[in-house]
Structure 1
């Protein structure tokens, strides 16, 4: 099972990357270590993404990352908050994808910011974006403000820890109920005829014990 983590943090170290890692660890733990996790740092692809938007053609490095994302069984997408929305780099990367490439893919959305007042970015920006891409978005989204990182370093408050565990459990539930994506169908940028996708109602029913 392939789980790809897309993080749009711009600094090193980055609280966005830190949150992405915690979400990936929690999801992998819920799957009993069965997931193969790959992290994509968009800051390393900024020039490639800009060139693609201008020319319409992805370079070899960006093409490989796009294939990894579209072939993944599940996705964790984390962005810093800028001007009350996702970052331009984050949006530009998903603009590169075909608008059917994530159809039926389970996605966990998350964001970071300086204050909890911006937490609505999850519902007003990220969730509509992935709904447009026809992904299956986990019910719980995770927002981490500066005050959520208690004690400095990579420690976090109990409240953030609870949200991470809940969201990871929901994503794991969606992944466990979904067959792996055939490589041929994923390379075509959409769901193939042989791909088994569990109906959304059944996926939600599988999540009920986790609430």
Structure 2
């Protein structure tokens, strides 16, 4: 799959923000970037989602803010020796709230085994959420049975886990959105889905990413 310069910038920027311990997407990352860079939240969101790159003067300011180089912001990861931008030890820095997690567990096969006070890691397969996470990366999530705000969530459907960006609608439904534009969004009624045997169920909210191969 060909990655555009906008997508590559998004990958690099999110990785650098992960390293800096900035809250994950869906938990104030866009607002944090907007405030730090003196731009609107919508503009910051475009940078983070791979839809736009900043002008040169903004890149200069971003370079100073994050203590990085232009290559770190715009270059391909293999050109930087394949370093891991977000290390496992940074994961807890991105946790939201006051939860005192002592360890991160691999997500169990059955949602019923997920403890409400735990923090779980889920390996990513495929490119549906690229460039936010790609095949081989991992997300960390805290258990949640519903979506009260827009954000990135872990969902169980048809006996497997998926990760999607969730947007609440005024109709009482939610939109499940893939970061990769090749995949269409899906609108579902969660209240109806829970009545189905293998329906869509939210099981957690993503609080951090481990970008394994980038």
Tell me the TM-score normalized by structure 1: 0.26
Larger radius of gyration: 2
Higher helix share: 1
TM-score (ref. length: structure 2): 0.26
